[in-house]
């Protein structure tokens, strides 16, 4: 029978002990004697968050389909268990075997957001693996990072042996084969890393040196060993129809944040919103055939028992066979008593009809993400959603019985003026007015309810806005205040609710997003002083971070508000994502001229991603 | 509440042991909901936008406790292949959660939750041989007013009202039948706490729930399992 790494007494003490026992339905157990490679996948946050992530489920299914590999999972222990493990010197363990992670061959850590960086150090330290890659020996696991934050891995470069740049489905098999080969020949960590670095998508930070200018901007990247390339090319899965998909997803015992089936319908996005990193990183746009998706949906519903299915993509309205897929799912899910959680769709007669079928109109709301209040600003960010579309969509929805509208905006976008901020309030007011003009008094059952939410814009690598200055903390607060007072000045202000996100975290996120290697020491110091679970408001301690930056003589403003020249070399420039820096530059200049760029399913804008030769839309 | 439909409720008896004992009652319910849906049997659902299974559990079990005999009742739309139902359901379970048998309930059976009257707990000790007299004396009392603390609240109970039977199985095991009705449920660990207070030297290593009972018209205890035709 399976064992537990933690004693009965500990499991009875900690909150939600089911986070640590493994054994979930569809989790995979193998016989240690029958396998060559032990791989542990880590999401450096609490179990319920980590178990909601599709990427790990995909790679888990893929790795475990290899006969010679056993892939297991680990998540960040919650602070209650963290303390117990430190006090009792208990090594962090993988869920499936409950064996210490330090005995594994690989520890793969997914990097989904910047604010998880201290949790990476927690996982390493609790695993009793040296935190700094330079201190690791042949006996320690190879620590690999992947996921969106791996596209600027530099702030955490010194903690990782390898970063895998791109989609995991492509090159892991070759990497494992190389590892086995090295093992056979008498293993040395250096030799394996050197040989791995020659593969596409594999970045070994210890083999590339970064040289700085006097002002700490980057001078150049140089190879530390002959034969090491100073460009790392992103890996792309070219055919989504026969790539690995977790049709037998692991079903957590405790409720995960996403307690549902995720059906990934496509990768990439044709819209080219200039603030959006995912929109550039996941190019070229690739779709899964509708028949493949129907089959996946059926299998996953049967294999999971979930009560809800969710369609996942960056822009579902652009999926060519969306109508066919949704109509099929409505029928099939109705029969199987499964709810469909719709992605945010362009509001039109079809989507409202579908929404009416799958949701309770009285409870559900309509969502728009105009991202900016004024048309001028929406042109700057290339968000192709017009005021007419929002008002017409709202009008149709009000006629259909909806009375709740959610609007998402960003504050602090490049070239933003006070008028653009005030326009957020005015747009909310126009939606409210639309309600009263659309519906005669006797048809209004309730007051219209509009919720406006703002988040602070953070410039990200590999976007046209990578050159932008981030606004300061004070500016952010002023902008949120102006939004609030402008909303309160509207005629229908009582129907408009305003939410905004915290500012301190946004500044730090901005630092790490465009950070360089000098930040590793800051992250280490902050962690040693108690920073952990920074993505959680209750645990985020800004003062610890301020001190860590101070102690290292590093000014956060260098990374955030500083003006970047067009010819500056960025810390992430050694990565080739297909989309060229020239293209991003063109887009940055067009943004300053308030000029828009077309949806690339309609017209190719020459971003460069078509060199992957993937996805039928890149060649139209 | 009596069941309306004719012969359409299946009562499942299940075991829970090993690491899964740390899964709480609500999550065990969620686990079985998904297992039932995966099994493809034709269970009945509620109406509305988010239909739910008509599923009711007899008695919650504390986190960290094993069981050999817990139950849930499932209302069906049509009956599955009863000969294979235990096997089919177990194919959807995990190590440590096991369906023991399924009872097709008699038409007039009251659902598990409201009919539970008593529970058997099996206690494991290091060595009972020196405490046998003391244990006999303890259980022979007419009354035993006991004060104990649970969840920061002081409770006072006459334990003899809620302890129905006991049986020494061997030097290491003892079975005790206690009140498990919604009005007077006696927690299993209170019994050992009281025995220790009374002077018992033997150490209780662990205990598990053994079975749940309802009462027949004469007040005799009947296992929840035996309220219809049993399929193993």
Percentage of residues in chain A having pLDDT higher than 70:
100
- For the cut 90, the answer to whether the pLDDT of residue B219 exceeds it is no
Domain contains B74:
yes
Pair (B31, B54) in one structural domain: yes
Distance CA A360, CA A379 (A): 35
The candidate with the shortest Cα–Cα distance to A334, out of A304, A364, A354, A311, is: A354
Asked if A305's CB is within 8 angstroms of B34's CB, the reply is yes
Residues of B in contact with A254 (CB under 8 A): 23-24, 27
Residue A362 CB neighbour total at 10 angstroms: 12
pLDDT tens digits, A212-239: 999 999 999 999 999 999 999 999 999 9
Task: List, for residues A160-180, the tens digit of each pLDDT value.
Answer: 999 999 999 999 999 999 999
Let me know if residue B194 belongs to a domain: yes
Mean of pLDDT values over A245-272: 95
The whole-number pLDDT of residue B7 equals 66
Domain count across chain B: 2
Q: Are residues B48 and B111 in the same domain?
A: yes
| B51 contacts A1? CB cut-off 8 A | no
| Domain boundaries defined on chain A | 260-359+582-620
Same domain? For B28 and B98 the reply is yes
Q: Output phi, psi for B216, to 5 deg.
A: -85, -175
Q: Looking up tokens 């030799």, which residue turns up?
A: A191
Same domain, B73 and B166: no
Band of pLDDT at residue B3, cut at 50, 70 and 90: very low
CATH number at residue B165: 3.30.70
Residues 318-337 of A with CB under 8 A from B: 336-337
With contacts defined as CB-CB under 8 Å, which chain B residues touch A8?
A: 64
Chain B residues touching A11 at Cβ < 8 A:
22, 64
Query: Containing domain of residue B103, as a range?
Result: 9-115+225-231
pLDDT recorded at residue A240: 94
Task: Evaluate whether A407 touches A427 at the Cβ level (below 8 Å).
Answer: yes
For residue B1, the model assigns a pLDDT of: 43
A339 touching B (Cβ < 8 Å): yes
ipTM over 0.90: yes
3-state class of B94 per DSSP?
A: coil
Give the model's pLDDT for residue B2.
Answer: 44
Nearest to B34 among A3, A8, A304 (CB): A304
Retrieve residue A154's tokens: 């530099």
Q: Does B51 touch chain A (CB under 8 A)?
A: yes
Q: How confident is the model at residue A444 (pLDDT cuts 50, 70, 90)?
A: confident
B163 CA: distance to closest CA in chain A (Å): 27
Looking at the domain assignment, is residue B220 inside a domain? no
Q: Which CATH class is domain A260-359+582-620?
A: alpha beta
**Mean of the pLDDT values across residues A251-265?**
95
- Taking one residue from A and the other from B, the number of pairs with CB-CB distance under 8 angstroms is 78
Q: Model confidence at B6, in pLDDT bands (50, 70, 90)? A: low
Average pLDDT over every residue of B136-151: 92
Q: Do residues B54 and B106 share a domain?
A: yes
Residue B60 covered by a domain: yes
* Closest-approach residue (CA) in chain B for A339: B50
State how far the Cα of A552 lies from the Cα of A44, in Å rounded to an integer: 25
CA distance A446 to chain B (A): 21
Residue B1 lies in a domain: no
Based on the fold, state whether residues B106 and B14 are members of the same structural domain. yes
In a domain, B72, yes or no: yes
Nearest by CB to B96, which of A23, A305, A336?
A23
H/E stretch holding A104: none
Smallest Cβ distance to B35: which of A11, A254, A305? A305
Residue B40 has pLDDT above 70, yes or no: yes
Res. A344 pLDDT band, cuts 50 70 90: confident
Query: Considering CB atoms only, which of B19, B45, B51 is closest to A23?
Result: B19
pLDDT tens string A13-29: 999 999 999 999 999 99
B101 and B75 within one domain:
yes
Say yes or no: B124 and B39 in one domain.
no
CA distance B151 to chain A (A): 14
Q: At what angle do helices A542-551 and A504-513 cross, to 10 degrees?
A: 40
The share of chain A scoring above pLDDT 90, in percent, equals 90
* B127, part of any domain: yes
Average per-residue pLDDT in chain A?
95
Structural domain includes residue B2 = no
Convert A68-83 to b/e letters by CB count within 10 Å (16 or more is b): ebbbbbbbbbbbebbe
CA–CA separation, A195 vs A179, rounded Å? 9
Work out the minimum CA distance from A359 to partner chain B, whole angstroms.
7
Say if residue B126 is in the same domain as residue B211: yes
Cβ–Cβ contacts within 10 Å for residue A561, how many?
Answer: 16
Task: Say whether both B95 and B126 belong to one domain.
Answer: no
Q: Is the pLDDT of residue A361 over 90?
A: no
- Please indicate, yes or no, whether residues B161 and B123 belong to a single structural domain of this protein: yes
For the domain that residue B59 is a member of, what is the CATH number? 3.30.70.580
Which residue in this structure is represented by tokens 């007011």?
Answer: A429
pLDDT single digits (tens) A98-110: 999 999 999 999 9
Do B74 and B131 have their domain in common?
no
Quickly count helices (H) and strands (E) in chain A: 20, 19
Q: What pTM, to 2 d.p., does this model score?
A: 0.94
């Amino acid at each position: 029978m399976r064992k537990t790494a933690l004693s009965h007494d500990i499991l009875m003490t900690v909150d939600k002990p089911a986070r640590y026992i493994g054994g979930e339905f569809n989790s995979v157990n193998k016989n240690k004697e029958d396998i060559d490679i032990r791989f542990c996948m880590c999401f450096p946050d609490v179990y319920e968050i980590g178990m909601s992530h599709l990427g790990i489920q995909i790679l888990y299914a893929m790795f475990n389909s290899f006969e010679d590999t056993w892939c297991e999972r680990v998540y960040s222990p919650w602070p209650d268990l963290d303390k117990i493990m430190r006090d009792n010197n208990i090594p962090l363990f993988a869920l499936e075997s409950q064996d210490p992670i330090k005995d594994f061959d690989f520890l793969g850590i997914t990097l989904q957001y910047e604010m998880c960086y201290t949790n990476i150090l927690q996982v390493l330290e609790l695993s009793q693996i040296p935190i700094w890659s330079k201190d690791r020996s042949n006996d320690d696991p190879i620590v690999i990072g992947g996921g969106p934050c791996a596209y600027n891995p530099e702030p955490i470069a010194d903690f990782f042996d390898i970063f895998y740049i791109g989609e995991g489905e492509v090159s892991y098999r070759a990497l494992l084969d190389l590892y086995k080969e090295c093992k056979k020949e008498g293993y040395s960590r250096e030799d394996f890393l050197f040989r791995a670095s020659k593969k596409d998508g594999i970045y070994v930070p210890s083999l590339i040196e970064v040289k700085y200018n006097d002002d700490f901007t980057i001078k150049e990247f140089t190879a530390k060993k002959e034969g090491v390339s100073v460009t790392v090319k992103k890996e792309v899965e070219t055919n989504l129809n026969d790539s690995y998909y977790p049709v037998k997803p692991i079903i957590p015992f405790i409720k995960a944040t996403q307690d549902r089936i995720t059906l990934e319908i496509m990768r990439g996005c044709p819209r080219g919103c200039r603030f959006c990193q995912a929109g550039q990183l996941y190019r070229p746009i690739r779709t899964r055939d509708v028949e493949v998706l129907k089959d996946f949906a059926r299998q996953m519903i049967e294999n999971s028992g979930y009560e809800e299915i969710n369609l996942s993509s960056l822009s579902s309205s652009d999926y060519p066979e969306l109508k066919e897929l949704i109509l099929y799912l409505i029928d099939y899910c109705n029969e199987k008593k499964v709810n469909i959680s719709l992605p945010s769709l362009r509001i039109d007669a079809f989507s409202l009809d579908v929404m009416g079928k799958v949701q309770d109109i009285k409870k559900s709301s309509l969502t728009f993400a105009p991202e900016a209040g004024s048309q001028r600003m929406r042109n700057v960010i290339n968000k192709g959603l017009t005021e007419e579309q929002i008002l017409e969509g709202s009008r149709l929805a009000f006629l259909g019985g909806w009375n709740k509208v959610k609007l998402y905006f960003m504050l602090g976008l490049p070239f933003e003026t006070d008028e653009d901020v005030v326009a957020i309030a005015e747009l909310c007011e126009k939606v409210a007015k639309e309600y009263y003009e659309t519906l005669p008094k006797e048809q209004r059952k309730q007051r219209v309810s509009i919720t406006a939410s703002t988040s602070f814009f953070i410039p990200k690598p590999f976007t046209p806005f990578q050159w932008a200055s981030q606004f300061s903390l004070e500016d952010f607060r002023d902008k949120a205040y102006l939004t609030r007072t402008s909303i309160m000045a509207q005629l229908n202000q009582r129907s408009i609710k305003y939410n905004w996100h915290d500012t301190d975290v946004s500044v730090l996120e901005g630092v790490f997003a465009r950070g360089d290697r000098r930040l590793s020491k800051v992250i280490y110091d902050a962690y040693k002083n108690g920073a952990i679970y920074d993505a959680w408001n209750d645990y985020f301690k800004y003062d610890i971070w301020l001190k860590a930056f101070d102690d290292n003589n590093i000014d956060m403003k260098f990374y955030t508000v500083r003006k970047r020249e067009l010819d500056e070399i960025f810390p992430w420039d050694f990565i080739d994502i297909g989309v060229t820096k020239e293209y991003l530059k063109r887009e940055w200049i067009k943004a300053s001229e308030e000029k828009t760029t077309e949806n690339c399913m309609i017209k190719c804008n020459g971003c460069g991603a078509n060199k992957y030769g993937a996805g039928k839309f890149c060649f139209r | 509440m009596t069941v309306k439909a004719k012969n359409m409720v299946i009562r499942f008896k299940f075991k829970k042991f090993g690491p899964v004992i740390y899964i709480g009652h609500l999550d065990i319910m969620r686990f079985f909901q998904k297992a039932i849906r995966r099994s493809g049997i034709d269970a009945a659902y509620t109406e509305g936008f988010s239909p739910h299974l008509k599923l009711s559990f007899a008695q919650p079990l504390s986190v960290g406790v094993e069981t050999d005999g817990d139950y849930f009742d499932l209302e069906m739309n049509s009956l599955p292949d009863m000969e294979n139902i235990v096997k089919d359901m177990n194919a959807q379970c995990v190590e440590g959660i096991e369906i023991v048998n399924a009872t097709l309930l008699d038409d007039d059976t009251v659902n598990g939750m409201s009919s539970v009257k008593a529970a058997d707990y099996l206690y494991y000790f290091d060595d009972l041989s020196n405490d046998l007299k003391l244990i006999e004396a303890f259980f022979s009392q007419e009354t035993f007013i006991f004060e104990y603390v649970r969840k920061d609240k002081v409770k006072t109970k006459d334990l003899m009202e809620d302890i129905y039977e006991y049986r020494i199985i061997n030097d290491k095991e003892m079975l005790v039948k206690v009140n498990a009705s919604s009005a007077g449920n006696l927690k299993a660990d209170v019994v050992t706490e009281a025995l220790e207070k009374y002077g018992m030297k033997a150490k209780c290593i662990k205990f598990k729930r053994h079975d749940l009972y309802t009462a027949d018209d004469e007040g005799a205890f009947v296992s929840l399992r035996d309220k219809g035709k049993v399929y193993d």
